[in-house]
Every structure is written in structure tokens, then in C-alpha cells.
Structure 1
Amino acid sequence: MAATTITKWMILSLNMFIILTLTHAQQVPCFFIFGDSQSDNGNNNPLITKAKADYPPYGVDFPGAIPTGRFTNGKNIADCLAEFLEFPHPIPPFAATKGPALLKGLNYASGAAGILDNSGINLGDRLCMNRQLENHKATIAQIAPLLGNQTSADVYLNQCLYVVNIGSNDYINNYYQQPPSPSSSLTPDAFADELIATFSTQLNSLYELGSRKVAVFGVGLIGCIPQEILLYPITNGSPCVDDINIAVGIFNGKLVSLINDLNTKLPNAQFTYINMTSIALGGPGPAGVTEVNAPCCEVQKAGDSAPGQCLPNGSVCENRDEYIFFDNFHPTEISNTFTASRAYRAFLLTDTSPVDIDHLVR
């Protein structure tokens, strides 16, 4: 009996040591990221897909000046959030992380991934939101033994931050893709309903897997990205493709209602909405930025492997801190830092709802 008590005490002490070690200076014990190329940090590298960023000039401003699989010149939004949360290092990709290292969290994001399983299929393999959730289940199965039992794992996971930034590819590489997909026949309202129904199931599943503090990014103004401006006509003197932004706005409005519903119905749930439109249009933009709709890198053209992405080993602008976009789809590090800063600590009341990430993790 005494030996059993000592063993249980030793296991509890070990668990507490692991947790205290992991959470030193961090605002949360772990950080899990779900999303697409805005957050991908290497998960697509081993996949057979056109959606890859494992070649120069991607990563030109990342430590070591190496391409890691991030679709930008340096850090992405997830990396910047990890810094604000006081993690000593970026959250590692699921594809390359095993053992105790996963206790600090994992990045499951995948370039071309969408809420719908078939979004992005035109580019090849990708880890859609449902596959990312399956990978998270596999992670949880490893966490329980590391912390001693499932109860300890549940308590631990309840304290973590979860960020979900996905949905752009459901529009870019599904609803508005060329040639048209079957979804293109739906009205914008009907397509948004389909997305929300699927996303609701996924966010409920994430809650069932132990998440309680969840920040969900809305879809940004993708009608203003260089590639969509190149592909679709602009009307009424607008600088952006208004029809695309209107359709995305319908989805975002329904997403806000979904977030409110989850917070009402799920015990102890703390979901919050990150308003990318408010962040993009409300208040001052990133200091020093002057180029708002041109890519910094030389991009691939129609007929190339991945039109709109950086040309492998192509030229790149020197004044990267003056550009919003690195390629025709993805923001520069300075833009990512700006977005993450407003998501973490709202500048305007409309940036987040009901709270920003800083308040969410307190």
C-alpha cells in the first residue's frame, strides 16, 4: 500500500515538473494551430502538392535565411502569436514532431487546406480541417501517457490556446476557382451555409477533444489579393473584386453567429472571433507600408506549376517591409506581425469578439 502511494506521488510530482517546465514564462502551457497556408510551417513539405513553399525566396528573412515551408519571407501569423504568448520558439509542425516536444503544442496547418474536404484538391494533396482534427486526436493519444493519465491530459489541454485560421481556400480554390467547381453553382448565401454547417461540426469536435480557449479567424478580404484582382474584373472603380468580398462577408457574418452559439451552448467554452476585415481596414495599417496590391517576389505565371506563388529562385524586392504581399496570395512578415498584434491585443473594439487573445488566455 505504501509503495503504491509513493509511486502515485512520484507520478504526480513528475507531471507537475513537466507542466511547470513547459509553462515557464509562457502565457499558456501549449498552443495548437489549425489552418491553411497562412499558418503552414512545413506540413506540406512531404506532400505531393503544388502548394509548397520549401524553396527560395520563401524564408529569405527567416532565421538562417532558409525556406521552411512557410508561405512568406519570414514569420507567419502563428509564429508571431507564439512570440506574443512568450513561447521561446515557434510552434513546430505536426509532420516533424514526436515525443515530449509536442506538449508545447503543434501546428497542423496545411497549404491549400479548407473547411470542406474537397477545397484545394486542384492543387494536390493537403490536410483539410477534418484531417487536421484527426492528427490532433493522434496527438492527444500521445499526450496522456506523457502526463500519466487521461485526466491529467484533459486538465492540461483545457488550459491551452487553440487558433483556427481557415476558410480562404474554400473560396479561392473551390467556390471561385477556375475552371469552376461544382460549388460554384450555389448562391453565396447557400455556399456560406454549407461552410458553416461543416465548420460547426468541426469546432464542436475540437471542443470535445479538450479545447476551451479557441480563437477563430474570419476569412480576410481575399477580393483584394493580387491573384484575384488578376483573375477577375474590377467594377465601379473599386480597388478590389467586390463580389468576392461580399460573398466572404456573408460567411463571416454567419461565423460570428456560430461563435456566439458555441459560447452559449458549450459549458466553459471560450470561443472568440478575429475580425480580419476590421484589422485590414480599421485604424492605421503597418507602419512604412506603401505597396498594398503588388507582390514582393517574382511570381509564377499562368501555365506554370503554381501560378501566383513565388518563382523558384526568382527575384525578390529589397524593401520587403514596404509590401503587404510577398507573393500573389500571401502576406509579408511585417503584415503578419501587424495582423497577429491586433488579434492578440485589439486596437479597435471591432477587431475581436467578444475578447482579444490577450484576454482569452488570462
Structure 2
Amino acid sequence: MKRVSRMPLLQQLLLLAAAGLASAEPQVPCYFVFGDSLVDNGNNNDIPSMARANYPPYGIDFPGGATGRFSNGLTTVDAISRLLGFNDYIPPYATATDEKLLTGVNFASAAAGIRDETGQQLGERISFSEQLQNYQAAVQRLVSTLGDEGTAANRLSQCIFTVGMGSNDYLNNYFMPAFYSTSRQYTPEQYADVLINQFSQQLRTLYNYGARKVAVMGVGPVGCSPNELAQHSRNGATCIERINSAVRMFNRRLVLLINQFNDLPGAQFTYINIYGIFESILRAPRANGMAVTNTGCCGVGRNNGQVTCLPFQTPCANRDEYAFWDAFHPTEAANILVGERAYSAATLFDVQPVDLRTLAQL
């Protein structure tokens, strides 16, 4: 099916700007990514997991086709990497060579969470704790490549790190009582505290292994995802407040945690308000070139449990007008908008305290 291209002018300008930046030296020597399916670019491809996207129609608009990205094209971190000036997209750790480690790798894994058990009903995944173990191994490889720990530490201190965890700890843990007991063990406030306490220890490990310029992505309004709307919304359009309310509790605590980390020597941590950025897109979709916000381009029926695109399913033709690609994950068009505002804040509420463009210069 021929694609109908209706890319908004803002996105066209962003891609042109990224192309111009790509011809120059990157603004930082390397970019490391941690996260879940929102930014996984292939680490789950060869593990026994139902959380995989290495088949069409995923990647229908990506130059490499179906690479494992849960999108029709670019993810948010792909957009960010281009804006940071990298010529190539950051590769998955699963296939990265020592040479690729010099410019950064992507450790993200679909279904992963802050908690180790999160997402286990979907099979194997690389939890954040395991992603950090992989990063520690990568640091040792960098030390061997560069010759000594001091040189490696100096390089890592200049790199950008983005961390986006927590969505699955809600959707594939707390709000899935048939598989997990956390909602019976903790109130939403208590659960947010438990998550933040563990996340704090994990981020400290990242800091202890050389990360200094760290952007932590808050959890988005996952109660507005097509899957949750299909299952729980009376009209198929009103977001699920009990889910979004719990997420906001986590995000508020995360902002405080980021402020605490900035008291550490050399630390330059920042919070990216993914919730606010994506909510603004959903509130004013047409202003952002979107027309459909309550269903995925691959479609999710009100009474079915479809979560990801079916293999070789025919997606919508006007996917640039959709906020969601499948039942959970944004389209390339939405990812570009989010990536642009993370890189260069459009409002004072997008980041705290600085955007990625400023973080790169610090």
C-alpha cells in the first residue's frame, strides 16, 4: 500500500535540521540508552520473548525495515541521536562491537522494568538491573579499548545517558493483578516509594560507573494508551485516571530524586517530562499534525486484547496523523515531536532543570 505522506512542517524542519547536524561532529562523544520497548532497537530480537518487534509492519518507514523497534520508524532516542549530531543510529548492545561502544550503545529491552519481575509474563527481558550489568561489562571493554580507567572515565563523563524506565512497572506489574501481587501489597503511594527507592540505587550504580550527564525520562500518561482505552474507558476516549494518577505520583518523586543526584560531585542529572509533553500532544493533536489519538495505526478493537501489530498486518496509510502506532507505542511522528522537545524544550515544564541540548554543552 502506498504511503500517504502528510508530515507536518515542524517535523520536516526537524528532520532537515538533524540532517544538517549529522554532517558535523556530534555534540558529545557518545550516547548510551537504557529503557524498555519505547526505545528498544533490537536487544530482544534473539531472546525467547513475546515482547519483540522484528517483523513487519514494524519498521515499515525505517530505512532498515523491521529492526526490533516498536514503531513504524524512528523511536524517541533515534530522533535525539540525530539532533545530537550522530551520523548513525545508536546500535543495540546485543550486536555492538568494541568500536561501537566508543560512540555509545542502546541497552533497552522491551517489557523491562525497575523491578526485576516486571514483564515476566511476556517471557525473557533485560530488566534495568541487568541492563546496568551489561553497561558495567561495556565499561570494562571501554577501559581495555582506551587503555586505562582514567581515559575511559573522562570520555564517559562527556557522554549523554538517557534512562526511561517505569512504564512496565505499572502496565506489566501493578495494574496486572492476575499476574502480580504488588497492587495488593502496596497503595499507589507506597508503590511509587518502593519504585523510587530501587531506582535510586540503580541510578547510583550508573553514576558510580562514570555517567555524569544523565537525562531521566518520566513515565508518560500510559492510562491514555489505546490498550487501556479499549479495556477500561467507557467511551473509548477518556483516559484512565487511576493509572495516570499513580504514574504522576511516581513522576513527582522522580523529580525530587533528580534534584538529590545533582548534589553529587560532577553530576548533571535532568528530568524529561514525558508525561507533560505527550499529554500536550494528546490535548491538542491537530496543532501537532495528529488526527487520531485513541487507537493504534495497527488497530486495537474495543473488545479484543491485541497489544502489538500482527505479523504482516496492513497498517493505516496516514500513519503520520496517528499518535499511536500500536496499542502502546507512539508513531514515528509522535516520537519525533517528543524527541525534539526533550532536546530543545518548548516550554518551561518540558524539562527540569535543562534540556538535552544544554546538557550536552555542560
SS at match of 1:361: helix
Show the counterpart of 2:296.
295
Q: Distance in 1 between matches of 2:111 and 2:301?
A: 17
Answer 1 or 2: higher relative contact order, Cα 8 Å, separation at least 6. 2
Give the deviation of 1:178 after TM superposition. 5.0
- Structure 1: 5+ residue stretches without partners: 1-22
Give the deviation of 1:181 after TM superposition. 1.0
Show the counterpart of 2:116.
117
Is 1:34–1:129's contact at 8 Å kept on the other side of the alignment? yes
Show the counterpart of 1:175.
174
Show the counterpart of 1:187.
187
The percent identity for this pair of structures is: 46
Q: Distance in 2 between matches of 1:121 and 1:341?
A: 33
Show the counterpart of 2:58.
58
- For residues 302-361 of structure 1, give each alpha carbon's deviation from its aligned partner in whole angstroms, at most 9, with x where no partner exists: 887xx3100111120000100000100000000000000000000000000001111111
Is 1:272–1:354's contact at 8 Å kept on the other side of the alignment? yes
State how 1:143-158 maps to structure 2 within 5 Å: 143-158=142-157
Show the counterpart of 1:38.
38
Show the counterpart of 1:14.
none
SS at match of 2:163: strand
Is 2:229–2:237's contact at 8 Å kept on the other side of the alignment? no
Show the counterpart of 1:128.
127
Is 1:234–1:240's contact at 8 Å kept on the other side of the alignment? no
Q: Distance in 1 between matches of 2:155 and 2:88?
A: 20
Is 2:289–2:321's contact at 8 Å kept on the other side of the alignment? yes
Show the counterpart of 2:352.
353
Is 2:230–2:300's contact at 8 Å kept on the other side of the alignment? no
Q: Distance in 1 between matches of 2:39 and 2:332?
A: 12
Show the counterpart of 2:71.
72
Show the counterpart of 2:8.
none
Q: Distance in 2 between matches of 1:118 and 1:141?
A: 27
Give the deviation of 1:145 after TM superposition. 1.6
1:269 aligns with 2:267: yes
Classify 1:301/1:345 alpha carbon distance in 2 versus 1 (closer, same or farther; 3 Å): same
Deviates more, 1:144-153 or 1:128-137: 144-153
Q: Structure 2: which amino acid aligns with 1:276?
A: I
Is 1:300–1:311's contact at 8 Å kept on the other side of the alignment? no
Show the counterpart of 2:200.
200
Show the counterpart of 1:164.
163
SS at match of 1:115: coil
- Structure 2: 5+ residue stretches without partners: 1-22
Classify 1:282/1:141 alpha carbon distance in 2 versus 1 (closer, same or farther; 3 Å): same
Greater Cα radius of gyration, structure 1 or 2? 1
Aligned residue pairs, count: 335
Q: Distance in 2 between matches of 1:322 and 1:293?
A: 12
Q: CA RMSD in A?
A: 1.9
Classify 1:302/1:107 alpha carbon distance in 2 versus 1 (closer, same or farther; 3 Å): farther
TM-score by length of 1: 0.89
Give the deviation of 1:287 after TM superposition. 3.0
Classify 1:296/1:54 alpha carbon distance in 2 versus 1 (closer, same or farther; 3 Å): same
Q: Distance in 2 between matches of 1:280 and 1:101?
A: 31
Give the deviation of 1:298 after TM superposition. 4.1
Show the counterpart of 1:19.
none
